[in-house]
Amino acid sequence: MNFIMLVAVGLVSGFCTYRLLTWASRPKIVRFKDGTYGVRRFSWFFMGYLYINLASQAFWWGRGDEYFPECRGTEERARAVLNTLTDKGEVAK
């Protein structure tokens, strides 16, 4: 019985740790000083903001990364990316 409890507690705590490390805030549109726009979210794992690549929408980058310039674009492009990220779809009938 003790072994089963130990395994169960380990699984639950491991899952909670995983959720805490991968949890991030909801993405938001931001405007940079140069007039370009981007989509960012806060990451607890990196303890800072990450910005999505507006071209591929596949990667999130920090401000110091070499691919950060690809995270900037027009307001329309940022809104389109944000809509893609937040669209949950509809239940098909």
DSSP state of 24: B
Does the pLDDT of residue 49 top 90, yes or no? yes
Mean pLDDT of 44-61: 90
Phi, psi (deg, nearest 5) at residue 41: -145, 160
Does the pLDDT of residue 52 top 90, yes or no? yes
The CA distance from 50 to 61, in Å, is 5
Element (H, E) at 9: helix 2-22
pLDDT given at position 1:
53
